[in-house]
Amino acid sequence: MSFIIAPAIGLLVFGMASNPKLWKSVTGIIKKTKTERREVDEICWTIGGVIGQALYAPITWVAIALLDGRYYACAATSLPYDVEHPSASYKTCEAVAISKIVYTSSAFNDNRSFSQLLGWIIIAAFLIVGMFVYCLSQCTFPLTYYHAKYYLLYRAAEEAEFTDEMQKKAQHDAEANVLKFMEKRRDKALWDRISTVYDFHRDDKSLALYSNLHEWVLENAQSEEMVPLTGGGGGEEGHPEEGGFNEDDGK
């Protein structure tokens, strides 16, 4: 049975881990501002949906394994081989392993038939329950068909666009910070500072610092009374606002 259960658990965990909704719900949840924290029931509802979506793969695996029948029958039958069959050429376990034709016992065949029946029952039950839950969710959805379709398309497009813009912005800011550091020779102490393992933290204005180099660039910009080269414009006293853009970025 471990051949059936272990892969099913692995598929369930992988399905949950590959769903962005799970990580959006739990990442930084303890550190979120109180106004942006979701209620416990909302988080549980989201995680329940993630688990429901992740069940497709493990249930499919279990159903296929049961339809094959051999795995369950081997686990449920104490003597799966018919050693008393007239045509059987084996009397020991070693002989069974090398035999080209293996005759199974009636108990094995009965358990295999039961396994196949159980597999079809699981498939039918999963389809019925899944269809019912899906229809219920559609009935309670706040948007009608085409409006809901536009909503889903917009969410997907926004996610792709946001990821693309973050990639461009991160590349631009990283290049600016590295160029600032490399514009002249630096002493060993500064090299040691940017080479240490970074633990995420914020500055005295609660703005995120993304690396040791990023922190040094902001400190250097403040000391020189100039606008920082990263993080976007609009911050007070030369500080960037998180995730923003400089007015000159698009020029």
For 160-213, write each residue's pLDDT tens digit. 999 999 999 999 999 999 999 999 899 999 999 999 999 988 888 888 999 999
Selection from 129, 126, 143 nearest residue 56 by Cα? 126
Look at residue 119 in the predicted model and tell me its pLDDT.
Answer: 93
Whether the pLDDT of residue 127 is over 90: the answer is yes
Q: In percent, how much of the chain has pLDDT > 90? A: 46
Q: Is 238 left (phi over 0), alpha (psi -120 to 50) or beta?
A: left
| Tens-place pLDDT, residues 79-105 | 666 656 655 555 555 555 555 556 677
Q: In which band, very low, low, confident or very high, does the pLDDT at 236 lie, cut at 50, 70 and 90? A: very low
- Please check whether residue 216 is in contact with residue 190, taking contact to mean a CB–CB distance below 8 angstroms: yes
Look at residue 107 in the predicted model and tell me its pLDDT.
Answer: 83
Check residues 224 and 42 and name the one with the higher pLDDT: 42
Count Cβ atoms within 10 A of the Cβ of residue 213 and give its class: 0-12 exposed, 13-18 middle, 19 or more buried: buried
Q: Residue range 116-141: average pLDDT?
A: 93
CA distances from 194 to 73, 77, 198 (A): 61, 64, 8
- Please check whether residue 65 is in contact with residue 122, taking contact to mean a CB–CB distance below 8 angstroms: no
Residue 229 neighbours by CB distance under 10 Å: 20
Which H or E run contains 51?
helix 40-54
Look at residue 95 in the predicted model and tell me its pLDDT.
Answer: 59
Q: What is the mean pLDDT of the chain?
A: 82
- Please check whether residue 228 is in contact with residue 218, taking contact to mean a CB–CB distance below 8 angstroms: yes
Whether the pLDDT of residue 239 is over 70: the answer is no
Q: How far apart are CA 161 and CA 164, in angstroms?
A: 5
Whether the pLDDT of residue 147 is over 90: the answer is yes
| Structure letter (DSSP) for residue 28 | T
Check residues 175 and 37 and name the one with the higher pLDDT: 175
Q: Residue range 14-41: average pLDDT?
A: 83
- Please check whether residue 81 is in contact with residue 102, taking contact to mean a CB–CB distance below 8 angstroms: yes
Q: Residue range 124-139: average pLDDT?
A: 93
Whether the pLDDT of residue 250 is over 60: the answer is no
| Structure letter (DSSP) for residue 233 | S
User: 142: helix, coil or strand?
Assistant: coil
Look at residue 38 in the predicted model and tell me its pLDDT.
Answer: 76
Q: In which band, very low, low, confident or very high, does the pLDDT at 37 lie, cut at 50, 70 and 90? A: confident
Q: Residues 137, 140, 145, 150: is their CA dihedral positive or negative?
A: negative
Look at residue 234 in the predicted model and tell me its pLDDT.
Answer: 41
pTM for this entry: 0.67
Look at residue 244 in the predicted model and tell me its pLDDT.
Answer: 45
So where are the chain's domains?
Answer: 2-144, 156-238
Q: In which band, very low, low, confident or very high, does the pLDDT at 35 lie, cut at 50, 70 and 90? A: confident
Task: Measure the CA dihedral 97/103/104/106, to 10°.
Answer: -160
